[in-house]
Structure 1
Amino acid sequence: MQMRVIGALIIREMHTRFGRHKFGYLWLFFEPLLLGAMIAIIHQFRGSQDSIRANFEFFAIGYILFFKFRGMVNRAGSTISANRGLLYHRQVTLPDLFYARHIIESIACTGVMVLFTIAGVAMGGQYPDSVVKMLSAMMLMFLFAQGLALVIGAATSEWDGLERLVHAMSYLILPFSGLFFMVEWLPGWMQEIVLWIPTVHIFELLRDGQFGDLYRPVYDLNYVFGWILVTHLIGLTGLRLARNRLGLE
């Protein structure tokens, strides 16, 4: 039943965001495709290296990973308020509302990542060293962003102004997320600081899958799993308390 509910919520979300016209659904893929391509092209032209792998693949695919994180986290604050009326149906739970939105974001970004990978190979790049590691990075970012989204969704149900702060923080974290650098490029004291940020480990795993021995990745997946577990426990607990405060059951 929960799978059917999530499927129905996905269809409703698609209609709400993109209308009922089939071409409107293309924006789901076109937005991350356009933004990722523009950032990659800018870095490709200003880069000092001639290799496609050094610029286009690095920034295009990396930005898609961050785009998924930002999209899931930024939409968390409005998830409950935009779907409050659906909660009068007992089959619809608060986590279902988030899962439906997150699946949409994940499918779109994964599809665009595949397109960028194929484009990089077509423009002279090499095949990824490990597709499994790249997909694992996408999955870990999905789970981490989902955990944060659940926490933010529960918190914004209590404090309305928190959503604006979340939007600002999602941009402020961009330079430190791991999108624009590899840990090995940084001085030792800075490496110790950035490795406290879980997204850095996920980006390092992504680049390990992309480039293999070309760079020396530094990541600890157990640290990322710890963040995923803690954020999900806090978020799901917060949503359960929020549902009781909404008084719909």
Structure 2
Amino acid sequence: MIDCARQQVRVIGALIIREMHTRFGRHRLGYLWVFFEPLLLGAMISLIHGIRGNGSSARNSFEFFSIGYVMFFLFRGLMNRAGNTIASNRSLLFHRQVTLPDMFFARHIIEGVACSGVMFVFTIVGIALGGEAPDSPVKMMCALGLMLLLGQGVALVIGAATSEWEGIDRLVHAMSYLMLPFSGLFFMVEWLPDWMQEIVVWVPTVHIFELLRDGQFGDRFSANYDLTYVAGWILIPHLFGLAGLRLARPRIGLE
């Protein structure tokens, strides 16, 4: 059992290196783009909202939007890249040690590490700009981990479905943008009318964003989240996704 685990760790490590070379080239400076992309996008989103607002409250603060967008960038990135994961790594299936889930795990580790680093940078910048230190960095990291797991489960389902129906990939890209206003990135539940609160709490990402803001701002706001509900949304897609990949594996031809 231990030997098998070590072997899979080595396989995933090799896939991470290959993915980095494929996406960013073999020049070491190219690897920095994995950090610069969410860093630049998050900074632009937060600056736009900071200019539009007065910047004196959490609703318009730099850290509210910058760190929040990094979380959504992680989730959207895992979804959007899921469709071509199998196609771009199909030749690796010649190696018996490489499995379909390994391909996804390698990509997700890269995205998770990059977004963790960017979140740390934005936290430091927010403090330097006059903001307060996070109330609970542990809660913030837990929120990032939950978003990674939720996105991973959805990505596994998308990957399994795309192996059978390629057109699903186009639908996923559109849906990733349509869900932006309802994800919890731009609001906290307590800011909404009662009737709207009853609707948005059905969205699992809202609970994760509430946990993030609880870690950022503490008692300044009343966070509303149910981690049991989030756990269900993480577990069920993982089960369906892993089962779907197992069924799809015999039908995936090698090129």
Q: TM-score range by the shorter chain?
A: over 0.9
Aligned mate of 1:151, from 145, 150, 157: 157
Q: How does 1:1-249 map to 2 (within 5 A)?
A: 1-51=7-57, 54-246=60-252
For the 8 Å contact 1:137–1:203, the answer to whether it is kept is yes
Mean alpha-carbon deviation: is it higher for 220-229 or for 238-247? Answer: 238-247
Residue 125 of structure 1 aligns to a residue whose secondary structure is coil
Residue correspondences, number = 248
CA distance in 2, matches of 1:63, 1:127: 19
For the 8 Å contact 1:52–1:125, the answer to whether it is kept is no
CA distance in 2, matches of 1:53, 1:173: 20
Residue 51 of structure 1 deviates from its aligned partner by: 4.3
CA distance in 1, matches of 2:216, 2:242: 34
CA distance in 2, matches of 1:105, 1:233: 22
CA distance in 2, matches of 1:42, 1:246: 45
Letter of the 1:77 partner, please give it: G
Alpha-carbon RMSD across the aligned residues, in angstroms, is 1.1
For the 8 Å contact 1:52–1:123, the answer to whether it is kept is no
Letter of the 2:152 partner, please give it: Q
Mean alpha-carbon deviation: is it higher for 239-248 or for 113-122? Answer: 239-248
Residue 246 of structure 1 deviates from its aligned partner by: 1.7
Residue 199 of structure 1 deviates from its aligned partner by: 0.3
CA distance in 1, matches of 2:40, 2:175: 23
Residue 222 of structure 1 deviates from its aligned partner by: 0.1
For the 8 Å contact 2:54–2:60, the answer to whether it is kept is no
Runs of 4+ in structure 1 over 6 Å off: none
For the 8 Å contact 2:55–2:62, the answer to whether it is kept is no
User: For residues 124 and 43 of structure 1, do their structure 2 counterparts lie closer, same or farther at Cα, with a shift above 3 Å needed?
Assistant: same
CA distance in 2, matches of 1:153, 1:52: 37
CA distance in 2, matches of 1:226, 1:53: 30
CA distance in 2, matches of 1:136, 1:105: 16
TM-score normalised per structure 2: 0.95
Letter of the 2:72 partner, please give it: F
Letter of the 1:83 partner, please give it: N
Per-residue CA deviations over 1:135-165 (Å, capped at 9, x if unaligned) read: 0000000000000000000000000000000
CA distance in 1, matches of 2:36, 2:169: 26
Q: Percent of aligned pairs with the same residue?
A: 73
Letter of the 1:9 partner, please give it: L
User: For residues 49 and 38 of structure 1, do their structure 2 counterparts lie closer, same or farther at Cα, with a shift above 3 Å needed?
Assistant: closer
